[in-house]
């Protein structure tokens, strides 16, 4: 089943002609029929107009921190969600202060939403913020000028594949017995032969792991949240020769991001939150620097999409 990242904005601080400010969508249409969004910088709903995503199908929004380039698009997005058929419950996760921001913005602008909204403010510690029978989402604080979080999205393991060919070779026709064995039930054939379900079902298939970090300097939680992730989305605001600026403003260089990915055993590293000082081919320098440490590195751009393959697909 297809899980996809879609980058609506990949810039840092201020929008530029090439990059809007930060927002990324996690497409879970096959699994849940919805999208999850991470951050919502100014102009995000305009980016949606040029993207194959629908605000009406937005189920959850995870805010990493309360700087404007990650937040200012939220009131408009929430209002537009009503107009675009969004009538299902909507949940917002973020640092303390997100509730006041949302409620004040909607009250002062006299905005009325046609759906139920739940706002969950995070504690400054490692925590599970959401779990159901499909996914677990955990969060942990990072190191930035203000409280900033990273999120780890883990898909729960899926049942192994049924060995249908082997069952057919035993003379078992497709039907109720197939379903029972697939559900893990042992069965007995008319001739008394007993079949153990575990012998006809492959091993559990590990779920996908996606890590999306907010603005941060290199830190322990950046590594723990990223451990063995299939894909890590990490800011790369500066090139390495601007390291002093990264330290001054509590950001990361592309090399910092690559070192985190390498230490955590990440599959693919995707760089985002690119300073407007890096335009056009200059931004490629960030990717090239990161690849000297972590070879499987990509540089995101606005409307860049990346399919996260399951271990079965790989």
The per-residue pLDDT for 311 is 54
215 assigned binding-site residue: yes
**pLDDT of 285:** 95
Interhelix angle 74-83/98-108, nearest 10 degrees:
60
User: Active-site positions?
Assistant: 69
User: Is 302 annotated in some ligand binding site?
Assistant: no
What DSSP string runs through 34-55? Answer: EEEEE---TTHHHHHHTSS--G
Q: Is 256 annotated as a binding residue?
A: no
**Tens of pLDDT, residue by residue, the chain (314 residues):** 689 999 999 999 989 999 999 999 999 998 899 999 999 999 999 999 999 999 999 999 999 999 999 999 999 999 999 888 889 999 999 999 999 999 999 999 999 899 999 999 999 999 999 999 999 999 999 999 999 999 999 999 987 777 778 878 777 777 777 777 777 778 777 777 787 877 777 787 889 999 999 999 999 999 999 999 999 999 999 999 999 999 999 999 999 999 999 999 999 999 999 999 998 889 999 999 999 999 999 999 999 999 998 654 54
- Paired with 94 in beta bridges are 121
How confident is the model over 258-288, as pLDDT tens digits?
Answer: 999 999 999 999 999 999 999 888 999 999 9
**Structural domains for the chain:** 3-158+204-308 (3.60.15.10), 164-199 (no CATH)
70 annotated ligand-binding residue? yes
User: Helices 284-291 and 254-264 sit at what angle, rounded to 10 degrees?
Assistant: 40
Q: Please give the model's pTM, rounded to 2 decimal places.
A: 0.90
Return the DSSP state at 94.
Answer: E
Q: According to the model, what pLDDT value does residue 145 have?
A: 96
φ and ψ of 78, to 5 deg:
-65, -40
Is position 46 annotated in a ligand binding site?
A: no
Q: Which residue has the tokens 């697939």?
A: 182
């Amino acid at each position: 089943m297809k899980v996809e990242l879609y980058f609506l904005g990949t810039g840092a601080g201020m929008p530029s002609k090439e990059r809007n400010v930060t927002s990324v969508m996690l497409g879970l249409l096959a699994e849940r029929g919805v999208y999850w969004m991470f951050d919502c910088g100014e102009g995000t709903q305009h980016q949606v107009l040029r993207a194959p995503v629908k605000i009406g199908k937005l189920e959850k929004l995870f805010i990493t921190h309360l700087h404007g380039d990650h937040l200012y698009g939220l009131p408009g997005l929430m209002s537009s969600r009503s107009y675009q058929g969004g009538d299902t419950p909507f949940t917002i996760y973020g640092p303390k202060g997100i509730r006041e921001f949302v409620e004040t913005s909607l009250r002062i602008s006299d905005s009325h939403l046609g759906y139920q909204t739940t706002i969950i403010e995070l504690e400054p510690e490692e925590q599970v913020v959401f779990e159901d029978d499909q996914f677990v989402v955990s969060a942990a604080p990072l190191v930035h000028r203000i409280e900033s979080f990273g999120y780890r999205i883990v898909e729960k393991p899926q049942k192994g594949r049924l060995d249908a060919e082997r069952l057919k070779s035993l003379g078992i026709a497709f039907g109720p017995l197939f379903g029972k064995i697939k559900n893990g039930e042992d069965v007995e054939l008319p001739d008394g032969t007993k079949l153990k379900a575990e012998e006809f079902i492959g091993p559990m298939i590990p779920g996908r792991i996606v890590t999306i970090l907010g603005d941060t300097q290199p830190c322990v939680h950046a590594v723990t949240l990223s451990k063995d992730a299939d894909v890590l989305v990490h800011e790369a605001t500066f090139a390495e020769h601007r390291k002093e600026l990264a330290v001054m403003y509590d950001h990361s260089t592309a090399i910092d991001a690559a070192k985190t990915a390498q230490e955590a055993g990440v599959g693919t590293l995707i760089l985002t939150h690119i300073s407007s000082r890096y335009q056009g081919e200059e931004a490629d320098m960030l990717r090239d620097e990161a690849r000297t440490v972590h070879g499987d590195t990509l540089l995101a751009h606005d409307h860049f999409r990346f399919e996260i393959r399951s271990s079965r697909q790989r």
